[in-house]
Amino acid sequence: MSNRQKFYINGEWVRPAGSDTLAVINPANEEPIDDIALGNEEDVNRAVAAAKAAFETYSRTSREERVAILERVIGVYQRRLGEVAATISEEMGAPMYLATQAQAPIGLAHLMTNMNLLKSFKFEEDVGTSHIVKEPAGVCGFITPWNWPINQITCKVAPALAAGCTMVLKPSEVAPFNAILFAEILDEAGVPPGVFNLVNGDGPTVGVALSSHPDVDMMSFTGSTRAGIEVARNAAPTVKRVTQELGGKSANIILDDADFETVIARDMVGMCSNSGQSCNAPSRMLVPNGRMDEAAAIARSAAEGVKVGDPNAADTNIGPVVSEVQFNRIQGLIQKGIDEGARLEIGGTGRPEGLNRGYYVKPTVFSHVTNDMTIAREEIFGPVLSLIGYEDDEDAVRIANDTVYGLSGYISAGDPDRARALARRIRSGQVHLNGASVDTNAPFGGYKQSGNGREWGVHGFEEFLETKAILGYNAAG
């Protein structure tokens, strides 16, 4: 029995309590890769008990001890970076270039960011006669998705380790092997037993058991808004802290003074990255009404250049989407766009020509979309762009904010001051100006139904701390 059929609990690879398994499918060829064990409530109870016991000692470790642990983890992760990339590519379909240059390295970036934060973070301060102390939040439960899997694991695990918390991780059962590999990395690095625990399983079983567990002090969830609501509902009776990074339907405002040819082509290709499976994907492109046809022609031309294919092929830009369920959902939404009257510029339903097996989706552009259409309201999570027209800056802001989501926003303009002014009016947790990329030091998270709390950087680190006031600490006598 390999580690893929075991759980990592209290510093050991252990057999599951039950016998249920699940085949993990390679989305590029629809063939099984391997099986994982599916956990149950008993497995969760064992993992939480281990984390609770370990918290008694790990929460009292010094800054220097935790820095040393993170340094060892970083060293092992760097050595096994290629394995992480290859594992992610196989199980969720990312092209090898993306897995090697972005998917795997961003995990390393979160580890290094939090190690550096830990070195200088101010855990204590005096306020008058009181002393304010920031302490570890406790036992943390993590539920993570499949789309950027090691990113979402490390942006929770790294700050938790740095803060002095202990944890139980339930990764996505669709792409779980990178999490198992990550557990091996932590084990090899000598993370103390019980500090990190891994139980595979599905949401209704392991997810519910973890989020409702009375000995879990905090839940951190990344996934769909629907599932996030369930996590919050299950956590509510024990009044635990819940942070959520949920869905998105980000607007990308192209102002009339932007270089259309450059920015529309750039953002069409960028939206397709990771097969469109990013919660912050700029899937609603807002362009001036009078230049809709011009924008559509540029986006169509850019989409023609996006090569869909085998993740291992050197010329592949995007691989398959992650699963048959996801493929079918995207196909249904593309058809919905056609049925509701959006103009299909390129792409559409079915697989790209020459790809008869695997969950491959055609890069698709719709123009003349209105913001009340389904493809403008629902998160598609595929390489599908909707071009929506606006009259002026006020109208663009109104349309951008006319969504239940608020994870990210994008603005391109020739005048930087104009872009900055509009950015302040977008109701989202991040706004990218003129193609700015992600920043692991900046907070990531959403407004409205895109979640609550923040990850990444110092804001993400502080989510794993409780604040205590010791009154009279500095009183005379």
User: Catalytic one among 90, 91, 173, 245?
Assistant: 245
272 among known catalytic residues: no
155 is catalytic: no
- Of 90, 279, 345, 463, catalytic: 279
- Do 316 and 309 meet the contact criterion of CB atoms below 8 Å apart? yes
Q: Which residues are catalytic?
A: 245, 279
